[in-house]
Structure 1
Amino acid sequence: MAETVEETETEKEAISIVGAGPVGALLALMLAKKGYQIDLFESRPDSRKTNIYQGKSINFALSERGWLALETLGIANEIREQAIPMYCRVMHDLEGNLTKQAYGKDNQAIWSVSRSGINEQLISYAEKSELINIHFSHRLTQLNFNDNTAVYLDSNNQVVTHQSDLVFGADGAFSKVRRLMQELPKQRISYSLDYMPQSYIELSIAANDDGSHKLEKNALHIWPRKDFMLIALPNLDGSFTCTLFMDQTGDISFDALKEHSSVNAFFNQYFPDAVSLLENPVEAFLAKAASPLCLVHIYPWLVNDQVALIGDSAHAMVPFYGQGMNCGFEDCRILSDLVDTTQGKWPLVLQEYQRSRKPNCDAITELAQRNFVEMSDLAGNANFLLRKKIEAKFHQQHPSLWVPLYSMVTFSPNIPYSKALAVGDIQNEIMDQIMQTPDIENIWQDDAIYSAMYELALTKLG
């Protein structure tokens, strides 16, 4: 019997994963758990030994789709120890007034995690696996898509050649694997990389002297200013990681704000209650180059049923729905499940992975782009907040008929993103009609409102 097991193990495909970010590391762990030999290549040095992440990342908001993927490996609880639950949004208006909006019900939360922190945890798990070899400082330069032979340059600029049965490109929004796919002469690949008008920089709020947080700890803080916004996510050490999103060009933009006096005036005018909390905001603003936000669309994701894209390399999105990493983790979980259901027949695995994930990833990319308006403008709008109250009350009355869009995306991992988008658009039409009711702000709790809403929902959603 032992000989049979050993023979089966040797027949498993050897797999290379290009990119050891959170998605690449998670994929390596999932496939190694199934007995596959994994070589994980990362162009950067080991972040546990160098400070490559400083000032270059946005904290992640880990939600149910991400947790479900981590639970399949049995590591969710350990990751959770390094995360902070955020139960609500706290909106800061120009006068410093605060408005809270719960993310869900029954203490549902999204979780603030450090990008570098979760990446390093996953890398450390991978390092313990006998089936995973991690190669840091290996930059992909060539890939033969016929036999999957890859050429890398190591930290000494020495050429390293590696051949495998399957290759996954998990190397991010500016994926080298994807670019090499696009250069293939006989492949018909549709591709777009679109830059958003907004860019971003990271700022920070330090902890109090006693290590406590200067703002409410279990919340995502937003300073919505219509065309730009500041957000803050809590860290375990009492600090907040803050991100300023703003147009790259224009009257109020990163390009326009270049002088100390104008930057100082900008912060004092638009974020007066945050100025005293932020660590040297003017100096930090002037010292940093704004990073772009981009959207990636590509199809197909596969070449020869042997090379596949996953995570941001296949569907980079903007961070305004907090689903980038969650979606990438869901990619890994779906692909892992397909390995089981097809008994490891990789052409079937990859074809079904592409077929099922492409429309869902397109849907969340669209939703994420739309959500900038909600976060930067509508989140502080009284009419919008009333709309959300009506939705929440109706959901309580008819939980199976109406699940708010945010809950479908964030707390309902078994609802595909594409279904959430389609249902959300219908809900939006219904709410537009309800909000046109005369004097809605004063009669929104009347039974007649919810009777009308029920009839509309039953007709359009039932």
Structure 2
Amino acid sequence: MTAGHGGHPQDPVAIVGAGLAGTLLAILLAERGLRVEVYERRADPRTGPAGEGRSVNLGVSARGIRALRRIGLWTSLSDLTVPMRGRVVHRPGGARLFQPYGRDPQEILHSIRRNELNARLVERAAAHPGIGLFFGARCVGLDPDQGLLSVTEAGLTRRVRASFVVGADGAFSTVRRLVQHGRPVDYRQEFLAWGYKELTIPPGAGGRSRVPPQALNLWPARQGLIVAHPNVDASHTATLFLPHRGEPGFTTLAGNETVTAFFTERFPGFAAIVPDLTEQYASRPVGHLVTVGTSAWHHRDRVVLVGDAAHAVYPFYGQGMNSSLEDCLVLDECLDRHPRDRAAAFADYQRRRKPHTDVLAALSAENFAELRDGTRSPLRLARSRIDHALHRLFPAAWAPLHTMVSHTTLPYGEALRRARHQDRMLRWAGATAVTAALTAAAVRGARKPPC
């Protein structure tokens, strides 16, 4: 047994959670020659429905693409993805505003259904001889010092001795709760006062899309927002965001006539492209939006957290899945950097990732206001045009924050630092221009002959 490693060298790595991060990490660890067992409380996504309470569409960007390429999966997903080349803002009166994501044709996002991506990852993991998958298996206990995991399957509980345990079980992680119980650890959970419902925009006549197909479609409104991702069958998955309480709110908006009147007033034209809107609204559950942060991502060399278990964020920057997949790459790199000291590898992983995912959490909260209100603000639209114009003129020196976050793998904190530097430069340029204009006016005034 190598120094700094607990457990028997033949014990498997136990991953709790067979979602996107859990299955990707299982593949990466198995490629290192480790034996991996993955335990998931839900049904196998290859045969079961999408997970409850989850947005069913994702926008894969540069970070996610890099991770999926690492295991050779990205190119095989082309039959499941739809390119999104920008966003289309639907304005009252029927006007549409297209805002491209970047100057480069490759600066796009890729829409994919979560359950379909998850199924492909599970399929790849199942094909690896070093990975065992156990569905309908719920984690009910954990001894973090011994690496002992208690799992219940079909009413029976068994104990699994692991070389180490990975918590990849989402924002409400059981592993995180068990490993932090009784320990002096900071933990923060913040629910947004808004929730969401998933609605479906079906294909139109002739199987054609009812809205622009290669874009993220937005309907911003006062106290409301709809975001729609395209699907390969020409349908769109639309997410309605509303406050939980108040007028309007999910707790008060009920009844076909009330719902129809609400959409007609707030989102003109939307009801016309969803023929069964009132039925969908009544039957779809309300989801919650949560940010989770914690000061401890690992316990010694025996437990480590990845993805939402370590840093769940609001979905308004489209980076939750992408950052979770990036976690797995960084953790894998840290295991390479510290081959004989897993505790040091886990500590290095937290040191390298946490400051940047903290930044992402703040950016995701801020972008909520941008999507809801900024897409209707002439001032913010003008600033966006300036950013993109400067990016076209000086591609190596200037990039909008969204471009750095979504279309590069620059760490989130570094992207924000550069964006703030650009903001200061623009303010300086603006102040300089105003000063020059006032000076010129003063000079002209001084040269005027006296009356």
TM, length-normalised to structure 1: 0.88
Superposed counterparts of 1:296-315, under 5 Å? 296-315=292-311
Is 1:29 the counterpart of 2:27 in the alignment? yes
State whether residues 111 and 231 of structure 2, in contact with CA within 8 Å, keep that contact through their aligned partners in structure 1.
yes
Where 2:239 maps in the other structure, the secondary structure is strand
CA deviation vs aligned residue, 1:339-392 (integer Å, no higher than 9, x gap)? 223236312211100111110110111101110111111113222211111111
CA 1:344 to 1:226, structure 2 compared with 1: closer, same or farther past 3 Å? farther
Which letter does structure 2 place at the counterpart of 1:141? V
Superposed counterparts of 1:118-267, under 5 Å? 118-154=117-153, 156-183=154-181, 185=182, 187-267=183-263
Q: Which has the larger displacement, 417-426 or 94-103?
A: 417-426
State whether residues 226 and 373 of structure 1, in contact with CA within 8 Å, keep that contact through their aligned partners in structure 2.
no
CA 1:93 to 1:430, structure 2 compared with 1: closer, same or farther past 3 Å? farther
Deviation at 1:11, TM superposition (A): 4.4
State whether residues 16 and 166 of structure 2, in contact with CA within 8 Å, keep that contact through their aligned partners in structure 1.
yes
Deviation at 1:429, TM superposition (A): 4.6
Larger radius of gyration: 2
Which letter does structure 2 place at the counterpart of 1:77? T
Superposed counterparts of 1:18-417, under 5 Å? 18-53=16-51, 56-107=54-105, 108-154=107-153, 156-183=154-181, 185=182, 187-343=183-339, 345-413=341-409, 415-417=410-412
Partners of 2:54 and 2:12 in 1: CA distance: 33
Partners of 1:88 and 1:360 in 2: CA distance: 25
Partners of 2:146 and 2:78 in 1: CA distance: 40
Counterpart in 1 of 2:447? none
State whether residues 293 and 310 of structure 2, in contact with CA within 8 Å, keep that contact through their aligned partners in structure 1.
yes
Is 1:424 the counterpart of 2:419 in the alignment? yes
Partners of 2:217 and 2:42 in 1: CA distance: 32
Deviation at 1:55, TM superposition (A): 7.2
CA deviation vs aligned residue, 1:245-267 (integer Å, no higher than 9, x gap)? 11111222111212222111101
Where 1:162 maps in the other structure, the secondary structure is strand
CA 1:132 to 1:428, structure 2 compared with 1: closer, same or farther past 3 Å? same
Aligned length: 428
For the aligned residue pairs, the C-alpha RMSD in angstroms reads 2.1
Deviation at 1:437, TM superposition (A): 9.5
Q: Which has the larger displacement, 90-99 or 280-289?
A: 280-289
Partners of 2:314 and 2:288 in 1: CA distance: 10
State whether residues 47 and 116 of structure 1, in contact with CA within 8 Å, keep that contact through their aligned partners in structure 2.
yes
Where 1:314 maps in the other structure, the secondary structure is helix
Which letter does structure 1 place at the counterpart of 2:137? H
Partners of 2:387 and 2:73 in 1: CA distance: 35
State whether residues 221 and 267 of structure 2, in contact with CA within 8 Å, keep that contact through their aligned partners in structure 1.
no
Counterpart in 1 of 2:449? none
CA 1:434 to 1:381, structure 2 compared with 1: closer, same or farther past 3 Å? farther
State whether residues 50 and 56 of structure 2, in contact with CA within 8 Å, keep that contact through their aligned partners in structure 1.
no
State whether residues 88 and 216 of structure 2, in contact with CA within 8 Å, keep that contact through their aligned partners in structure 1.
yes
State whether residues 20 and 121 of structure 2, in contact with CA within 8 Å, keep that contact through their aligned partners in structure 1.
yes
State whether residues 35 and 130 of structure 2, in contact with CA within 8 Å, keep that contact through their aligned partners in structure 1.
yes
Partners of 2:266 and 2:365 in 1: CA distance: 23
Structure 2: unaligned runs, 5 residues or longer? 1-7, 438-451
Which letter does structure 2 place at the counterpart of 1:102? P
Where 1:82 maps in the other structure, the secondary structure is coil
State whether residues 222 and 266 of structure 2, in contact with CA within 8 Å, keep that contact through their aligned partners in structure 1.
no
State whether residues 199 and 246 of structure 1, in contact with CA within 8 Å, keep that contact through their aligned partners in structure 2.
yes
Counterpart in 2 of 1:456? none
State whether residues 12 and 35 of structure 1, in contact with CA within 8 Å, keep that contact through their aligned partners in structure 2.
no
Deviation at 1:430, TM superposition (A): 4.6
Which letter does structure 2 place at the counterpart of 1:310? V
CA 1:287 to 1:388, structure 2 compared with 1: closer, same or farther past 3 Å? same
Partners of 2:163 and 2:112 in 1: CA distance: 34
Structure 1: unaligned runs, 5 residues or longer? 1-9, 440-447, 449-462
State whether residues 202 and 244 of structure 1, in contact with CA within 8 Å, keep that contact through their aligned partners in structure 2.
yes
Deviation at 1:431, TM superposition (A): 4.5
Partners of 2:145 and 2:221 in 1: CA distance: 51
Partners of 1:362 and 1:280 in 2: CA distance: 40
CA deviation vs aligned residue, 1:10-34 (integer Å, no higher than 9, x gap)? 9476211100001101111111111
CA 1:274 to 1:430, structure 2 compared with 1: closer, same or farther past 3 Å? farther
State whether residues 166 and 307 of structure 1, in contact with CA within 8 Å, keep that contact through their aligned partners in structure 2.
yes
Partners of 1:376 and 1:433 in 2: CA distance: 29
Which letter does structure 2 place at the counterpart of 1:361? T
CA 1:350 to 1:12, structure 2 compared with 1: closer, same or farther past 3 Å? farther
Partners of 1:23 and 1:352 in 2: CA distance: 19
Q: Which has the larger displacement, 123-132 or 208-217?
A: 208-217
CA 1:89 to 1:313, structure 2 compared with 1: closer, same or farther past 3 Å? same
CA 1:127 to 1:89, structure 2 compared with 1: closer, same or farther past 3 Å? same
Give the share of equivalent positions with the same residue, in percent. 33
Superposed counterparts of 1:445-456, under 5 Å? none
Where 1:210 maps in the other structure, the secondary structure is helix
Where 1:238 maps in the other structure, the secondary structure is coil
Partners of 2:323 and 2:159 in 1: CA distance: 31
Counterpart in 2 of 1:442? none
Partners of 2:433 and 2:39 in 1: CA distance: 61
Where 2:357 maps in the other structure, the secondary structure is helix
State whether residues 56 and 202 of structure 1, in contact with CA within 8 Å, keep that contact through their aligned partners in structure 2.
no
Where 2:269 maps in the other structure, the secondary structure is helix
State whether residues 207 and 239 of structure 1, in contact with CA within 8 Å, keep that contact through their aligned partners in structure 2.
yes
Partners of 2:203 and 2:82 in 1: CA distance: 15
Partners of 2:370 and 2:10 in 1: CA distance: 47
Which letter does structure 2 place at the counterpart of 1:422? R
State whether residues 42 and 51 of structure 2, in contact with CA within 8 Å, keep that contact through their aligned partners in structure 1.
no
